[in-house]
Structure 1
């Protein structure tokens, strides 16, 4: 038996998130998703008792079956409609995260050079310059392929998951924060740190949910240029920026 559903799946990242939930369903013969169609169709094949559990599995993945659609698909068409999913994620390790390590290393060297040029060490200035560089560099990689980033980000961020357009806005928020930290305007540091705190706190919630639930999906912190898996490294990254913004907020 074949059934076809209209869903709110939006991207390859969504399909990747759904995959383990469906493939762990005993008796499900095959399934496919077409996120390019207007109805975001999900097609499944199996016994009626198995197919009755599909909406629940979709819900467990964080998405929804909106309604059942009429279908006249033959068995051969089921596998042809499959949406390509993201490449297999590498195992977490130093080599996997080398791009991230190099970027953070460059940022630290840049901050150190600025402090040497200033003639004395000032922790608040060093943190401000680091955060400026962080947001400018990370927003750059996200903007290289904005749509792909938005698709990946919707797979785990608690806001982008509900409001898809937020994924298109988020890199510009990071760009604005980076420029604000770089400009160091005297009348707005509290506002900038407050915005950063809330933005990173919201981001961290989605990352924590993904890692603690052991979902294997791509981290979009550097856009989709690099195939980085979501892990505790991402938690540390977001947590560090959250902590720095809080310290600067308290310091005034």
Structure 2
């Protein structure tokens, strides 16, 4: 590794392993110090870096620390506790969308859907922008395009921002919905593969601010945007 970008990529990738607590990379010495809840063989660590063959790991100095007292296990979170950020965000956006739909006294479902789409993309792009590099690294773990073209992760965040503004301004509705349909369809492919393969990785939908696991919730989230863009295309 010769640059901070390489170090960030390796660190972010290794942290996807549930038992890895921290990764500290020394660029000058070309070494990585990995703190783990349990010992993980270098072969297992290398396996998660299989998409980056130029980064090779080998054990240099393994130190085991045994606690005198048994560690206190964190209570398992409920579904609502885990996905509380997404539930709150969707609730706020849905409320605003319903209010906008009733603004003229008669419910306008097209306006409600357009406002919902605007709120969705603007909010989610905001969280991605908070740590653009971290999002791009996480996104490349499962997205079919980002795995081959790392720059897509960076472009995707700005594309979401552009779509959010387009929906908010009602700019070229047909084109905006068509682009949304294409982008979200591509996005859901990687999500489906990860969930079906039961990969325990972080969902990058809200960037790196919240540690949300990839699950059927992510599928529903992307699927909803696909259905809404389809509906708006057929009903306009």
After TM superposition, the score normalised by the length of structure 2 is: 0.75
Whether 2:90 is the aligned partner of 1:99: answer no
Name the structure 2 match of 1:251. Answer: 235
Name the structure 2 match of 1:122. Answer: 108
Name the structure 2 match of 1:65. Answer: 53
CA RMSD, aligned part only?
Answer: 3.7
Deviations 1:46-93 (A, max 9, x none): xxxxx9xx59x738x762534879x8x84459xxxxxxxxxx9x7561
Find the aligned partners of 1:110 and 1:67 in 2 and give their Cα distance.
47
Instruction: Give the unaligned 5+ runs of structure 2.
Output: 1-5, 34-40, 64-73
Deviation of residue 12 (structure 1)? 3.7
Q: Is the 8 A contact 1:131 1:241 kept in 2?
A: yes
Name the structure 2 match of 1:15. Answer: 14
Q: Is the 8 A contact 2:188 2:223 kept in 1?
A: yes
Deviations 1:175-234 (A, max 9, x none): 10010011113xx21111111011101110111111111111111111111111111000
Go from structure 1 to structure 2 and tell me whether the alpha carbon gap of 1:167 and 1:36 turns closer, same or farther (over 3 Å shift).
farther
After TM superposition, the score normalised by the length of structure 1 is: 0.71
Go from structure 1 to structure 2 and tell me whether the alpha carbon gap of 1:124 and 1:207 turns closer, same or farther (over 3 Å shift).
same
Name the structure 1 match of 2:162. Answer: 176
Name the structure 1 match of 2:213. Answer: 229
Find the aligned partners of 2:234 and 2:26 in 1 and give their Cα distance.
47
Which is strand-richer, 1 or 2?
1
Aligned residues: 214
Find the aligned partners of 1:205 and 1:158 in 2 and give their Cα distance.
7
Q: Is the 8 A contact 1:92 1:229 kept in 2?
A: no
Instruction: Give the unaligned 5+ runs of structure 1.
Output: 1-6, 24-32, 44-50, 78-87
Go from structure 1 to structure 2 and tell me whether the alpha carbon gap of 1:236 and 1:122 turns closer, same or farther (over 3 Å shift).
same
* Segments ≥4 residues shifted beyond 6 Å: 33-36, 40-43
